[in-house]
Structure 1
Amino acid sequence: MGSRQQLGNYSLWMLSWPIFIELFLQFLLGAADTLMVSKISDDAVAVVGFSNQLFNALMALFTTVSSGAGILIAQRLGARDRESARTLGVIALKVTALIGVVISVALIAAPRQIAMLLQLPDRLLPLAEIYISIVGGGMVLTAVMTTLSTSIRNTGNTKAPMYIAVGMNIVHLFLNSSFIFGHFGFPQLGLTGVAISTVTSRLLATIVLFYIFLSAFHRPIRLPDFKLFDRKLFHEVLKIGWPLGVNMSCWVFSQLAIFSFLAMLGSAELTARTYMNTLESFCFLLGQSIAMGVQIQVAHLFGAKRTKEAYRSAYRGLYIGLVIVSVNAVIVYFVGDKMLGFFTSDPHIIALGVSLLSLNLLLQPGKMLNMALGNSLSAIGDTRFMMTNSLISMSLIATLLSYVLGVKLGWGLSCIYSCMIADEYFRGIIALFRWRGRKKLRQAEIGMQQAARQAVAAG
């Protein structure tokens, strides 16, 4: 990692470490949320975990635009087309803000109906109605914040989102503590307070990110610039972005379906899975940051026509990530029972969580393989292939097989978890063969050769 594989002035490590800090702070936010909410009740934890899966599913609606724009921003900057990169950032912000408003209105209007549709147990519905309406009502902030962070990060400035994450975590933890425990004269509002804390911290983060975004490109963005709309560029965003959106939709909807299956098994299984999500996040944080750094680097290199360097960069990130996530999974295997004990004293929930620790040793390398090479393929525009891969694997293995074996045949939580592992490896191995085939990279190389011959002929 210290070999300084350069992307202009950015090595993989320079791109990845701020992303890691940002993700780590998000992990702390989630872990602290879970820990503090567990002081309210295990039911409150189940509601938060369930609601977050719903929010993740809805995020796919604006991730289509933000992710596609982010990749194109990196490619255009690699090709030194800075004006198009700037325009892409403006277009993405406007479109995702509009989508976020629509989602927020829907979640404010029908939180209970949505929870019932997704099979949440009846006794959890009152808590879900409160949490979904408040946090869901702030989804427009999530949409804008995601787009701002993605645009800024893909310019190569991965530090700014990290600093914002620090501030957001501090505010969120302060407000969580105040509203849950009644510190500093605040009223004790329970889960309602947690929801208010979440929305407030995101609002402040969005304001600061917007200020940074205005100066993120070669020319500052002014108010009149928000009238910008280039149909050709937006078409490019959708061309590369809609498969990414479908890809993410497959993942989040499969996770949402799995949480619904767990709700059918019982609230204890649902709660144990929520706690395990926290432990899994710890394992994968640095690996995920490396995979995200690789995507930015590969996109820049691909845009600069440095295809051989882009090809090698993906493998370098994969090898580093595999070592890291495997070591982290071993650590969690030995201390996982104690970590679960921080969240709950229910022996049944702890036992369910502990039963998944050995399976997590298998899960983490599969996730790293899938994410590192999947991100690399997305970075060079091979998003339709990734979409097809996800549609097949997640629908048949992660979702259908989980339901048949885990619910219908009654094999339970461990079987559902095993299906998730099989899905990660299937997608990862397919992505590996696709990357080794170098299809998109060869097409780019042929295009460069043709352009060179035309230039010689014209000269």
Structure 2
Amino acid sequence: MEKDKFTLWALSWPIFIELFLQFLLGAVDTLMVSRISDDAVAVVGFSNQLFNALTTLFATVAGGAGILIAQKLGSQREEDARTVAIISLKVTALIGALLSVLLITVPGPIAQMLQMPDELLPLARTYISVVGGGLILTAIMSTLSTAIRNTGNTQGPMYTAVGMNIIHIIMNYGFIFGAIGFPQWGLAGVAISTLVSRLIATLVLLFIFIGTFQRTIVWSDMRIFDRKLFREIMQIGWPLGVNMGCWVFSQLAIFSFLAILGTQVLAARTYMNTLESFCFLLGYSIALAAQIQIAHLFGGGKTKEAYRSAYRALKFGLPLVTMNAFILLLCGRALLGLFTSDPEILTIGVSLLWMNLLLQPGKMLNMAIGDALSALGDTRFVMYNSLISMWIIATGCSYLFGVSLGWGVVAIYACMIIDEYFRGFVALLRWKGRKYLRNKEAEMERERCESLRAAKPASNEERLSFN
């Protein structure tokens, strides 16, 4: 039964449903907010890039802890896995609390610093302060989901996501349209809806988390802190956090470039972000499931199975994301029409649909192999790969060609495509080298030899005693 929990299928389908519901949440959010105005959509898209950037600060700990939990469980060290989960929860809650205070206190200056257009600042202040003020909930929710998921229980976070989406959609509808007894508060209501749904989801995940391990987690366990295990978390986590930060901050920089090009370009990119999420949901679910599976196999010393798991993820993921991108190409204009009737925004969005067909396979390659390397703890390599490619190709070239030379959003999108393929193929070469897998095999061989040597003197003593 334990083995069945860690198959690619058993792990990936609940992750897909959870991510699909998150996508649905974002799509419904964008669709409903578009009924307020295109300016409101631009504020939500821009603000979410800011929130994503800030979440990397606690995702560093949560991501490292998740991989370590799967590795410890794979090596039959349940108590260590439990301690890692408790430590990560405490640390990320503290980081989330500090970020919440920051965003409540100075939302306006933060929006101005990020080049938010002046006409969007009043809406931005409200949205950033309310949703950003609840970043502590995002921190706790992210950590709990990651910990639960990496024990092999991917269904718990999935069911929680179902409930959170239902509550959020109902409240959004009420606040935007003044329906079912709610006041008509527009974008402020959307922000409150986001906050309340996340609070409820956090409480549900906390209830699941308490019983996740064989020994129930109690309030007194919050005093636990193991420095050695925390160092292990950070050894995996800090490069993982830098890698996440590279992506998020590069995207934030790119959104700033788009803001320079105009509100309509910014809104078009926000709508495309929503549609693109549909393309890689299945692929990302498989990549994330493979990461959990590889970490578990690696922790248990099953290096050959861990190596093959990454290729299985690619085998299933590449056709899926390509097919989804093609479907989006056929239906994209009609889908964009659900969000806006602005002809310029529609023209920009449609021009990017063909490019998305090239983007998604590269993104799948990068996700699957990058996550596989991270599962082994080879997060520094992934970090260096990201630092070079994202800042030189994705960000630097986007500014050069898109803004300085005036080639616009198409040039920026082309730079993002090149970045995905570059990082993907470099990661694939690293995976084929099997460095961490060979090191694990050598470590296991040393342990086997040491145990044999330790057994021999005992055997000789026993023979002498017998004689």
> TM-score by structure 1 length?
0.98
1:345 paired to 2:320:
no
Shift of 1:99: 0.1
Give the % identical residues: 67
CA displacement, residues 298-344 of structure 1 (integer Å, 9 cap, x when unaligned): 00000000000000001001110001000000000111000000000
* 1:246 alignment partner, one of 238, 242, 247: 242
Counterpart of 2:400, as a letter, is: V
Structure 2 unmatched ranges of 5 or more: 456-467
- Show the counterpart of 2:76: 80
- Show the counterpart of 2:405: 409
Q: Distance in 2 between matches of 1:450 and 1:150?
A: 33
Shift of 1:10: 2.8
Shift of 1:453: 1.3
Check conservation: 1:314, 1:372, Cα contact below 8 A.
yes
1:43 paired to 2:39:
yes
Shift of 1:112: 0.7
Structure 1 unmatched ranges of 5 or more: none
Alignment of 1:263-302 (within 5 A): 263-302=259-298
Shift of 1:8: 4.9
Check conservation: 1:74, 1:303, Cα contact below 8 A.
yes
- SS of structure 2 residue aligned to 1:345: coil
Q: Distance in 2 between matches of 1:87 and 1:252?
A: 29
Counterpart of 1:197, as a letter, is: S
- Show the counterpart of 1:161: 157
Check conservation: 1:258, 1:399, Cα contact below 8 A.
yes
Check conservation: 2:5, 2:152, Cα contact below 8 A.
no
> TM-score by structure 2 length?
0.97
Check conservation: 2:71, 2:299, Cα contact below 8 A.
yes
Paired positions, count: 455
Alignment of 1:301-380 (within 5 A): 301-380=297-376
- SS of structure 2 residue aligned to 1:179: helix
- Show the counterpart of 2:121: 125
Counterpart of 1:333, as a letter, is: L
- SS of structure 1 residue aligned to 2:30: helix
Alignment of 1:54-69 (within 5 A): 54-69=50-65
CA displacement, residues 153-186 of structure 1 (integer Å, 9 cap, x when unaligned): 0000000000000000000000000000011121
1:31 paired to 2:27:
yes
Q: Distance in 2 between matches of 1:118 and 1:203?
A: 28
Alignment of 1:211-226 (within 5 A): 211-226=207-222
Check conservation: 2:374, 2:382, Cα contact below 8 A.
yes
Counterpart of 1:215, as a letter, is: G
CA displacement, residues 337-360 of structure 1 (integer Å, 9 cap, x when unaligned): 000000000011010000000000
Shift of 1:458: 1.5
Larger CA Rg, structure 1 vs 2: 2
Check conservation: 1:333, 1:357, Cα contact below 8 A.
yes
CA displacement, residues 182-209 of structure 1 (integer Å, 9 cap, x when unaligned): 1112110000000000000000000010
Alignment of 1:139-150 (within 5 A): 139-150=135-146
- Show the counterpart of 1:196: 192
Q: Distance in 2 between matches of 1:169 and 1:268?
A: 28
- SS of structure 2 residue aligned to 1:269: helix
Counterpart of 2:412, as a letter, is: I
CA displacement, residues 47-100 of structure 1 (integer Å, 9 cap, x when unaligned): 000000000000000001000000000000000100000001100000000000
Q: Distance in 1 between matches of 2:49 and 2:352?
A: 20
1:101 paired to 2:80:
no
- Show the counterpart of 1:395: 391
CA displacement, residues 411-447 of structure 1 (integer Å, 9 cap, x when unaligned): 0001000100111001000000000000000000011
- SS of structure 1 residue aligned to 2:180: helix
Check conservation: 1:7, 1:301, Cα contact below 8 A.
no
Counterpart of 2:234, as a letter, is: L
Shift of 1:9: 3.9
- Show the counterpart of 1:18: 14
Q: Distance in 1 between matches of 2:135 and 2:268?
A: 26
Counterpart of 1:103, as a letter, is: L
Please report the RMSD computed on the Cα atoms of aligned residues, expressed in angstroms.
Answer: 0.9
